[in-house]
A and B are shown apart, each in its own frame.
Chain A
């Protein structure tokens, strides 16, 4: 169980990722890197060092051919309601205190102790072991929106928080209430880029948003739900074996599965 009480907000930005619609193409991963100024590396096969805020995992039902089945599961930061990462941060570099319920990561405050990485049950946090290097010319793809992180700090998915700021600014310019954004006003880069529409984003508290309805679907589940982290990322699948892999169930577990 998490050590922090559930922190509630009027708006809870969340995702519903339909695993059944994901083909594992990687468009979301590419969009995430480009949007958030994540430097390329020439040996990306070293998964301990390659840095990605969003990773698409390949799931297998574990059966031999011809009964084999597979699915793809994109994993951003789960933006937990009871955030285990923040409770261990000695310098409050990560917190959850803004309307919307996004777990922040303030890079200049981070001292690189990596306690948050150890605490995160989703492996959604990454440490900059080296300074980011853009080969000559490629630095022209750095956007103005997200600061470039040096070595020695931890980073993670922010649900493209800068896009949240843009959406609020636009609402103010159009004399709309920035605290009542319409569905689609604010979309992270991964949700925007997915060709299959597998990633639905919106306010989990707003009944008019699709994500609210999807989160209540009988197909919905969350990762490691029994840890009590209350993630704001929901997954959907018709397939029982996929839902079962969302948590550490015992082989002979009697408790009903999600």
Chain B
């Protein structure tokens, strides 16, 4: 071959090869494979494979009791989706949707832990824990105290039966709006009423054609939120729905009210009851909304001082807007008023009673929802347990604790009680403390024995008629995931201890729930497949109520109102709740952390907020670092809470115009000193600022009128 031919062949071959490569899929496929390979490093998690199944349940974690459709992959819980057709559902709350990550959190407690002399906790076995506990129970005798964080389940009945068999009546729930509502209802229920003693007021949103929420953040954090939102969305699908919100902060309910065609009535923090009574006064005098009852004259006399001018001075709401609201309420066929605490606790009986009075005047769709108590010897019903007040109990102790052994059942009082640090000192002084907890929270960290418990998707438990529910509701939370390590349901552990002490209680918690379902004539098979039940509750009539309660309790509960303008650098604290900020026991779920906005949390600092007029009056400016200090209420603060008067938190300041004058807004749920990296060290715990005071009349401790001083710090 000549050189020229060789060159021609080589050129032809090269050109052919080039063309072949260019038109062949091979290089492109290789390039694609390489690019895929470069993005599949071993440290990048791979997608799992497997079979999908779906199960129904009801959320035990979310206070709204929303319905769940749980997706499982190879039998493992993967996702939580909304359950269509669930009576308390309609969507899913951020908290319920974020629950799977909590199940697998590396911070979960997996073994019993005993506190050693250095203050740290070491693992022990269950038999050791049980032996230790039996010994401590024997030694404590009747000096037992139990604080329960689960209001909607039957765990409280088991605990109360256990305590009563040991000679103690000291069982309490964590302070909540449900307690305020329940106590108000118990005071108002006429002694000879045909309605059951153990019942609660229900709010029948389905029948309402206008809803006024005073204080209660019914679209975010008060009661059956998912149901409330579904109903308002359905009713207002075409032309909106007349939803009104009265409260210090333009919160989620106010946002929905503005969008739905209603509106926001800004009032000062803690003035909800005055506004409700002002409305009742105008409705009775101007619109003829009266009760045909001899006791009503006394009520009218009590209402007389709540004329528009007085109410305007107390609430900051103009008399014209008050009267406009009355006109709308009077014209509606079935108006419903929900009056409660903006942050779901600490408001006493006043708001609930004033809401009851308004609903009676307007003949609003209120119901009396009967509550069922698990049939255990000595068990106390939910309504009965609400009569105890843990804040009054702890603050009433002198130098020595009145209990030798305390059980904290899914409750985190060291974080969530008002004046938390001061009351934590009281808890710390109890000789032996036991916590049933899924995470090492602030209270568990103080306890001598910590027993790991399952979360809502890992245990069999029940949910009965949560706060605000207008009908009788019952469902089971199902154990769809395996609890990590040696977690055991707290109620089962208590029943095991009861068996060891020959108390005659059922052998396990499932037997308690089965008996309760049987007593309620519900199918256990349907319940255990995730079906929920709803039954109508009787409507509430004025004849069922003891109208003298309004004079005896309600009008007395109102002390001298706060002045119309801020006193020097004082402001009324307006706390807010957000579902996404989790619970005191779990902290903020990892997924929910990203829902926080730039002016709510920045690094480790949270924001507090006020409007520009208040900021000017207080000498504050945007992004200033401020110290917020409890001003100690109006002088009647309980002194022996350990001195929370003077306690301070540090935060950044944000100007937000959606808040009433003289108020400082702040979110609850921040400032954990325990739990995981998604909750710990983020912001400050505003529970520290609360100053509990006894409510006149009911005696219930309240802290919704906390005042603070604010100053810029370096």
Q: Find chain A residues with CB under 8 A from B78 CB.
A: 140-141, 143
A26 in the interface (beta carbon within 8 A): yes
Q: Find chain A residues with CB under 8 A from B580 CB.
A: 25-26, 30
A108-153 contacts to B, CB under 8 A, are 108-109, 131-132, 134-150, 152-153
Contact A42 B678 (CB under 8 A): yes
Contact B100 A141 (CB under 8 A): yes
Which chain B residue has the least Cβ–Cβ distance from A237?
B259
Q: Which of A1-9, A15-23, A226-234 makes up part of the contact surface? A: A15-23
Contact B591 A65 (CB under 8 A): no
Contact B255 A24 (CB under 8 A): yes
Q: Find chain B residues with CB under 8 A from A69 CB.
A: 250, 258, 658
Q: Of B80, B233, B589, B590, which is in contact with the most chain A CB atoms at under 10 Å from its CB? A: B590
Contact B233 A40 (CB under 8 A): no
Contact A31 B92 (CB under 8 A): yes
If A34-B79, A137-B104 touch, does A65 touch B657 (CB 8 Å cutoff)? yes
Q: Find chain B residues with CB under 8 A from A60 CB.
A: 657-658
Q: Which of A95-103, A190-198, A246-254 makes up part of the contact surface? A: A190-198
Contact A138 B657 (CB under 8 A): no
Which chain A residue has the least Cβ–Cβ distance from B321?
A66
B593 in the interface (beta carbon within 8 A): yes
Contact A33 B591 (CB under 8 A): yes
Contact B45 A45 (CB under 8 A): no
Contact B101 A138 (CB under 8 A): yes
If A27-B94, A40-B101, A195-B225 touch, does A19 touch B678 (CB 8 Å cutoff)? no
Nearest CB in chain B: distance from A174 CB, A: 17
A43 in the interface (beta carbon within 8 A): yes
Per-position contact with A for B223-261: 1 when CB-CB < 8 Å, else 0? Answer: 001100110111011001000000000101111101111
Nearest CB in chain B: distance from A33 CB, A: 5
Contact B47 A138 (CB under 8 A): no
Report which of A29, A107, A143, A238 forms a contact with B79, defined as CB distance below 8 A.
A143
A65-111 contacts to B, CB under 8 A, are 65-66, 68-72, 107-109
Contact B220 A23 (CB under 8 A): yes
Contact B611 A65 (CB under 8 A): yes
Q: Range of interface residues on chain B?
A: 35 or more
Contact B48 A142 (CB under 8 A): yes
A203 in the interface (beta carbon within 8 A): no
B580-623 contacts to A, CB under 8 A, are 580, 589-598, 601-603, 611-613
Which chain B residue has the least Cβ–Cβ distance from A194?
B91
Contact B100 A45 (CB under 8 A): no
Contact A20 B612 (CB under 8 A): no
Contact A135 B48 (CB under 8 A): no
Contact B258 A138 (CB under 8 A): no
Which chain A residue has the least Cβ–Cβ distance from B657?
A68
Per-position contact with B for A175-199: 1 when CB-CB < 8 Å, else 0? Answer: 0000000000000000011111110
Per-position contact with B for A148-184: 1 when CB-CB < 8 Å, else 0? Answer: 1110110000000000000000000000000000000
Contact B79 A131 (CB under 8 A): no
The distance in angstroms between the C-alpha atoms of A142 and B101, with both chains bound, is 10
Contact B92 A137 (CB under 8 A): no
If A26-B592, A64-B611, A239-B259 touch, does A197 touch B233 (CB 8 Å cutoff)? yes
User: Interface on chain A toward B: helix, strand, loop, or mixed SS?
Assistant: loop
A56 in the interface (beta carbon within 8 A): yes
Report which of A63, A131, A195 forms a contact with B43, defined as CB distance below 8 A.
A131
Report which of A20, A22, A58 forms a contact with B597, defined as CB distance below 8 A.
A58
If A47-B598, A195-B92 touch, does A25 touch B593 (CB 8 Å cutoff)? no
Nearest CB in chain A: distance from B612 CB, A: 6
B548-601 contacts to A, CB under 8 A, are 578-580, 589-598, 601
Report which of B93, B259, B594, B611 forms a contact with A25, defined as CB distance below 8 A.
B93
Q: Of A148, A149, A193, which is in contact with the most chain B CB atoms at under 10 Å from its CB? A: A193
Contact A25 B252 (CB under 8 A): yes
Which chain B residue has the least Cβ–Cβ distance from A35?
B79
Q: Find chain A residues with CB under 8 A from B601 CB.
A: 44-45
Q: Find chain A residues with CB under 8 A from B32 CB.
A: 108-109
Contact A41 B594 (CB under 8 A): yes
Q: Which of B34-42, B297-305, B404-412 makes up part of the contact surface? A: B34-42
B385 in the interface (beta carbon within 8 A): no
Q: Find chain A residues with CB under 8 A from B658 CB.
A: 60, 65, 68-70
The distance in angstroms between the C-alpha atoms of A37 and B254, with both chains bound, is 33
Contact B596 A45 (CB under 8 A): yes
The distance in angstroms between the C-alpha atoms of A41 and B594, with both chains bound, is 8
Contact B579 A108 (CB under 8 A): no
The distance in angstroms between the C-alpha atoms of A118 and B30, with both chains bound, is 30
B494 in the interface (beta carbon within 8 A): no
Contact A70 B255 (CB under 8 A): yes
Nearest CB in chain B: distance from A134 CB, A: 6
Contact B104 A25 (CB under 8 A): no
Contact A40 B591 (CB under 8 A): yes
A-B contact list, 9 entries, CB within 8 Å: A25-B220, A31-B92, A45-B603, A52-B594, A68-B658, A142-B48, A143-B47, A193-B82, A195-B66
Q: A27-B92, A45-B602, A65-B613 are in contact. List 9 more A-B contacts (CB 8 A).
A: A25-B94, A42-B677, A64-B611, A135-B105, A135-B590, A142-B45, A144-B47, A148-B47, A195-B226
Q: Which residues of B does A touch, CB under 8 Å?
A: 32, 35-36, 39-41, 43-50, 66, 73, 76, 78-82, 90-94, 97-98, 100-101, 104-106, 108, 219-220, 225-226, 229-230, 232-234, 236-237, 240, 250, 252-256, 258-261, 266, 578-580, 589-598, 601-603, 611-613, 657-661, 677-678
**Which 10 residue pairs spanning A and B have beta carbons closest together?**
A20-B259, A195-B91, A26-B595, A40-B590, A68-B657, A23-B252, A137-B104, A65-B611, A44-B593, A197-B233
